[in-house]
């Protein structure tokens, strides 16, 4: 049924009006061609009409006219051969199959169509509704219905969103009748439970899964019913019951490794990760590289102790087993919304809060001199953020607390900032227009995982080093940035930080032909890491983290330098506020793959805020 995926359509309108017009046009063309006697050509347009709007009654009226002209449904089948290209033609074939009494084939074919193109109302057809009676459902082949359900459930989501759920509802009504007539057909009932769960009919899903579990046709089939029952109970929030069901099956037959993984994850979701780990350890004794158990145990270990070393190991598992997509799913899930794993960290400077207040004013783009007075210096990039909003934005500092945040923690060659007393200015030229355009297009506040960020920034690999450094202090305007809801312009600090992370990770791709220990990219990133106390330090640390995750031979070096920068910030935090300290702590933990990158030094109480 792969051909059904080649759904034919033309212009799309959100309200469906374009599809309806297209379908009506195809109906008119089909009738004209029917009058000429060219049935093959007419059949193509009938299929296109159904494919454009499967719920259009006129499309099925012209199909009936075509069947009559062909001399009946049996003859009309040849007009819609199995080799047809479009889903609409397949839907016509299903209708004709039903008309000749081959109803099981028709139901199977319609299920395959829904599975291939789930976002159209294929099931809104009279012939399907007519089968939802006890007598008609009893005559259907449960095996074909079960196979069709496998197509449907894989495609519609769990739970199925609207309008898919409404589109599938007529098919589900038939399935309910088939289950009532064939409750002993365990495999089919299991798949029906899966559909009920996706339709959010959880009581029915649980009842059907229990029915399937109670029928004893052998351990494999018993396990399938248990799996469906566990999933339904889990969706219903009855986690402990789901655990009990799966434990019974797994303890009776430890070869049910897939169920064992599900049990372990349920234990994790019930705040019992240690028990889940014990289950997976037993699975891995007999299958050390199990596609799901091997990554799942790393995920549970991370849930248990929040040590990012398990996440790195999860990524390494995926590198060595690229076909194990479950590892990638888990890594994405665990990193997605965590600072410096799946997204940027938030800025906390008082300057940023002032900028946001300015953004809420009537004239945030004012040319007037506006600013804020602080008791101590803050990150130069926070001032840069203010200048993006108001060119004459300024910050006055009452005092520079020691150690001086303007000074690098060691002698460096690259310093993007210069200072006139306490006022920061870019110390490097602006980047080229090409670099600015790339950053404008690619800057992102959420990247998913560190390796995903590393890959994303590869698009900057061909830029000169001066361009990449220039982006750090000359970010493109957030206006018209391709972020949803105008987010970049509303929160310019998000934007500046995103550009800086992108630029630094782009530096990680500079001259990758050079060996890491003596490379320009390493030297540049370390200079930025150890330079003026600023968001750029965080961005450089993040770039180094992505290098460590993706290039294991660099890990000891990366962990050593990121940890050293954190320790320098912690030392400074003894006498003054260090706004980037918490970020650097998180970044240090995100590269805790060796002894050099172990737990950071104990946190000390920080002095009061401004």
What gap in Å lies between CA 206 and CA 192, rounded to an integer? Answer: 11
- The confidence score (pLDDT) of residue 280 equals 97
Q: How far apart are the first and last CA of the chain?
A: 66
The alpha helices in 474-534, defined as continuous H runs, are 487-490, 492-507, 520-529
Q: Which of 100, 162, 114, 590 is nearest to 338 (CA)?
A: 590
Flag whether 540 is in a domain.
yes
DSSP assignment string, 27-87: HHHHHHHHHHT-HHHHHHHHHHHHHH-TT-HHHHHHHHHHHHHTTSHHHHGGGS-TT--SH
Find the radius of gyration of the CA atoms of the chain.
Answer: 31
Alpha-carbon distances of 113 from 4, 6, 23, 360, 562, rounded to whole Å = 6, 10, 18, 51, 53
Q: Which residues pair with 419 in a beta bridge?
A: 424
Give whole-number Cα distances, 42 to 61, 79, 211, 503, in Å.
13, 9, 47, 58
Residue 583 maps to a domain: yes
According to DSSP, residue 56 is labeled: -
The answer to whether the CB of 121 falls within 8 A of the CB of 156 is: no
Q: Of 138, 167, 182, which one is at a domain's C-terminal end? A: 182
Whether residue 47 contacts residue 94, with contact meaning beta carbons closer than 8 Å, is answered with no
In a domain, 309, yes or no: no
Would 556 be classed as within a structural domain? Answer: yes
Eight-state DSSP code of residue 157: -
In a domain, 275, yes or no: no
Please enumerate in sequence order all residues whose Cβ is within 8 A of that of 474, keeping only pairs 6 or more positions apart, or say none: 426, 428, 429, 430, 431, 436
Q: Is the pTM of this model over 0.85?
A: no
d(CA 562, CA 511): 22
3-state secondary structure 412-467: CCCCCEEEECCEEEECCCCCCHHHHHHHHHHCCCECCCHHHHHHHHHHHCCCCHHH
Give the span between the Cα atoms of 151 and 113, in whole angstroms.
8
Backbone region of residue 204 per phi and psi (left: phi > 0; alpha: psi in -120 to 50; beta: other values): alpha
CA gap 254, 240 in Å, rounded = 20
Which residues share a beta bridge with 374?
A: 397
Considering only CA atoms, which of 339, 307, 322, 315 is closest in space to residue 552? 315
Q: Please answer whether residues 80 and 93 qualify as being in contact, where contact means their C-beta atoms are separated by less than 8 angstroms.
A: yes
What pLDDT is recorded for position 362?
Answer: 56
Does residue 571 belong to any structural domain of this protein? yes
Could you read off the pLDDT of 2-41 as tens digits, one per residue? 334 444 443 445 555 677 888 899 999 999 998 888 999 9
Burial 457-471 (b: 16+ CB within 10 A, else e): beebeebeeebbbbb
Strands 423-426 and 417-420: antiparallel
End residue of a domain, out of 139, 155, 182: 182
The per-residue pLDDT for 14 is: 52
Task: Return the pLDDT at 520.
Answer: 98
Q: Which structural domain, as residue segments, surrounds residue 460?
A: 343-604
Q: Please give the Cα distance from 91 to 352 (Å, whole number).
A: 58
The segments of the chain whose pLDDT lies below 70 read 1-17, 214-222, 361-368, 594-610
Q: Is 115 part of any domain?
A: yes
> What is the predicted pLDDT for the residue at 16?
57
Task: Give how far Cα 224 sits from Cα of 149, 158, 209, Å.
Answer: 15, 18, 9
Does residue 251 belong to any structural domain of this protein?
Answer: no
Q: CB under 8 Å to 361, separation ≥6 — which residues?
A: none
What pLDDT is stored for residue 295 in this prediction? Answer: 96
End residue of a domain, out of 164, 182, 200: 182
- Tokens 């169920």 correspond to 259
Token pair of 456 as six digits = 């994303």
Which residue, 528, 502, 345, 340, is CA-closest to 437?
Answer: 502
Q: Give residue 179's pLDDT.
A: 97
| Number of domains present in the structure of the chain | 2
Q: Give the pLDDT of residue 7.
A: 43
């Amino acid at each position: 049924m792969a051909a059904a995926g080649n759904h034919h359509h033309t212009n799309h309108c959100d309200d469906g009006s374009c599809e309806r017009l297209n379908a009506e046009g195809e109906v008119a063309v089909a009738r004209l061609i029917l009058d000429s006697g060219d049935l093959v050509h007419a059949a193509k347009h009938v299929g296109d009409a159904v494919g454009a709007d499967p719920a259009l009654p006129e499309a099925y009226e012209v199909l009936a006219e075509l069947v009559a002209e062909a001399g009946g449904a049996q003859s009309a089948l040849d007009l819609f051969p199995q080799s047809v290209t479009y889903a609409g033609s397949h839907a016509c074939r299903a209708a004709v199959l039903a008309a000749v009494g081959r109803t099981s084939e028709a139901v199977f074919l319609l299920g395959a169509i829904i599975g291939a193109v789930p976002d159209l109302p294929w099931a809104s057809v009279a012939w399907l509704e007519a089968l939802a009676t006890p007598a008609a459902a009893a005559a259907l082949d449960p095996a074909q219905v079960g196979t069709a359900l496998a197509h449907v459930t894989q495609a519609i989501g769990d739970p199925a969103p609207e309008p898919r759920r409404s589109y599938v509802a007529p098919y589900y009504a038939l399935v309910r009748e088939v289950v009532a007539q064939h409750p002993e057909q365990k495999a089919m009932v299991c798949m029906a439970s899966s559909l009920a769960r996706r339709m959010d009919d959880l009581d029915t899903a649980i009842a059907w899964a229990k029915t399937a579990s109670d029928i004893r046709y052998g351990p494999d089939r018993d396990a399938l019913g248990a799996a469906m029952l566990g999933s339904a109970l889990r969706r219903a929030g009855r986690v402990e019951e789901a655990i009990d069901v799966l434990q019974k099956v797994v303890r009776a037959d430890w070869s049910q490794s897939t169920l064992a993984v599900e049990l372990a994850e349920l234990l994790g979701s019930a705040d019992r990760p240690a028990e889940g780990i014990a289950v997976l350890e037993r699975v891995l004794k007999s299958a050390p590289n199990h596609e799901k158990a091997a990554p799942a145990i790393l995920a549970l270990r991370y849930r248990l102790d929040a040590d990012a070393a398990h996440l790195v190991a999860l990524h390494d598992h995926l590198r060595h087993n690229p076909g194990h997509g479950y590892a990638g799913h888990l890594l994405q899930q665990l990193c997605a919304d965590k600072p410096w794993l799946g997204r940027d960290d938030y800025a906390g400077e008082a300057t940023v809060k002032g900028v946001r207040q300015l953004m809420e004013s009537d004239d945030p783009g004012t040319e007037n001199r506006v600013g804020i007075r602080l008791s101590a210096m803050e990150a130069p990039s926070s001032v840069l953020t203010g200048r993006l909003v108001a060119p004459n934005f300024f910050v006055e500092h009452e005092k520079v607390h020691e150690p001086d945040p303007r000074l690098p923690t060691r002698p460096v060659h690259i310093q993007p900032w210069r200072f006139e007393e306490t006022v920061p200015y870019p110390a490097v030229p602006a980047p080229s227009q090409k670099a600015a355009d790339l950053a404008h297009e690619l800057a992102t506040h959420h990247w998913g995982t560190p390796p995903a960020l590393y890959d994303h920034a590869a698009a900057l690999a061909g830029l000169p080093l001066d361009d990449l450094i220039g982006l750090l202090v000359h970010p493109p305007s957030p206006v018209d940035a391709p972020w949803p809801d105008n987010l970049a312009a509303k929160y310019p600090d998000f934007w500046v930080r995103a550009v800086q992370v992108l630029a630094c990770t782009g530096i990680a791709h500079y001259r990758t032909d050079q060996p890491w220990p003596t490379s320009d990219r390493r030297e540049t990133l370390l200079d930025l890491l150890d330079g003026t106390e600023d968001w750029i330090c965080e961005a450089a640390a993040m770039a180094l983290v992505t290098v460590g995750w993706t290039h294991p031979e660099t890990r000891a070096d990366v962990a050593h330098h990121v940890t050293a920068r954190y320790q320098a910030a912690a030392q400074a935090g003894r006498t003054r506020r260090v706004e980037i300290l918490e970020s650097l702590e998180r970044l240090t933990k995100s590269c805790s793959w060796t002894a050099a990158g172990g737990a950071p030094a104990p946190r000390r109480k920080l002095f009061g805020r401004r």
